[in-house]
Each structure stands twice: as structure tokens, then as C-alpha cells.
Chain A
């Protein structure tokens, strides 16, 4: 079992829909990250959070530490939101802080 599990693996929606991507983790963490990767490779950090909720534009990230679960929401989705969204957690592994990644969720928004 992976230490970080994302669902769904693939998601296709129509422009304007409300999108939710889920992330569950099984290790102790100091922070959780949401990353975005567009076709071509570049990865951008969207959020880093350790409690509660953060909002940036149409993106909202929440985390529930007790349930070891986080969600990424996109309101009023747009085709330019099409990308792979990756959940990652910062854990102390072998004495060093390292990122452990989920498998990613491929999101496609159709016009």
C-alpha cells in the first residue's frame, strides 16, 4: 500500500464544474503539498498546508490531520486547469525531511 493515495486517478469534467481531488496518507507528516504538472513536465507548487484550509483564486485546499486526509477543490473549472495534480507529504524519513508523493490525478476539463 502506498503511503500517499490519491483519488480519482483520472477525472474528466465539463467547463464550469466543481472539482474535488482527494488525498489520504498513512505516515506522520509535518506538511502536505499540492502540486500541479502541465503537459511538458514543469511542476508548480500550489499549496503547502499543515492544518485547516488555504485558498488561492479558484483553488481551495483543506486538510484534516486527525483523519489524515486532504482535498483539493477547483471552483468554476476551466480547460486551462487540465493538468496532473499531485499530492505530497513532508515526513521525517531516515532522519531527514523528505517528500513522499501520490501517484497523481489527471484532470481534463472539456470546453
Chain B
């Protein structure tokens, strides 16, 4: 069974801090994704990566960066946290097979509060 592990379930940080959210998957998936989920707005893609050291902006990349130095790990970085980045953050991974992305497997989410 695929396991996507996010480093924290709950995190509280202060405005201006640099925040790292870590995600690890154990199934050798090529694709990894970072989403944020807000009431009324649903899931929105921040960044995704389809290979080591490769990254693509999603729909709302402003204020975020990512790092993928190893295939199994995808990190989301808030360079200078702001209160509007308080949200639920979800990581996902998927396999590329048969010419298409296979279903995404999600982590349990990190509820991040910026004070």
C-alpha cells in the first residue's frame, strides 16, 4: 500500500518565519504535488514535480517554493510566512503509467497556522 507521509499534522509558526513542510512517499512515484485546501475554495495546486529536481508552478505559487532533491521527498517552503498562508496543506504522489497520471495518493495533511 502506498504511503505518503507528511512531517507534521499541526504546525504553528509566526509571521516572517521560514517554514518547511516535508513530504515523503515510499512507492517510487514520479509525480509529487503540493495543494492547499481552504473552506469554500476547495483544493488548489501550489506546485508539482514530475521528476527529481524538476518543478512546475501550479495555480497559486506566489509566496511558496519547493525542493525535490530525491525522488521520494518533496518539500514545500514558505520563504516568509504570512497570515494568509494559514491553511491545510496536502501532499500527494502519483505514478506515470500507460501515458497518463495514475490516481493520486494523499498524505494526511498539515494544518498550518501563521500567527
| 8 Å CB interface, A1-57 against B | 30-31, 33, 35, 40-45, 48
Is the CB of A75 closer than 8 A to any CB of chain B?
no
Q: Shortest Cβ distance from B4 into chain A, in angstroms?
A: 10
* Cβ-based interface call for B32 (8 A): no
B83-103 vs A, CB cutoff 8 Å, 1 = contact: the mask equals 000001010100000001111
What 0/1 readout, one digit per residue, does chain B (55-79) give for beta carbons within 8 Å of chain A?
0101000000000000000000000
Let me know if B42 and A104 touch, CB within 8 A. yes
Q: Which one of B11-19, B21-29, B106-114 is at the A interface? A: B106-114
Tell which of B90, B92, B100, B104 touches A41, judged by Cβ atoms closer than 8 Å: B90
Q: Say whether A65 faces chain B, with CB atoms less than 8 Å apart.
A: no
B45 within 8 A of A: yes
Q: Is B115 an interface residue (CB 8 A)?
A: no
Number of chain A residues close to chain B: CB under 8 A: 23
* Contact between chains at A98 and B105 (CB < 8 Å): no
A31: contacting residue among B9, B56, B100, CB under 8 A: B100
Of the candidates B101, B102, B107, the one having the most CB atoms from chain A within 10 angstroms of its own CB is B101
B residues in contact with A42, CB < 8 Å: 106-109
Residues on B with beta carbons closer than 8 Å to the beta carbon of A96: 48, 50, 56
CB distance from A55 to the nearest CB of B (A): 16
B-side residues, CB < 8 A to A, are 9, 33, 40, 42-45, 48, 50, 56, 58, 88, 90, 92, 100-109, 111
A residues within 8 Å of B by Cβ?
30-31, 33, 35, 40-45, 48, 86, 88, 90, 94, 96-99, 101-104
Q: Which 3 A-B pairs have the closest CB atoms?
A: A41-B109, A43-B106, A45-B103
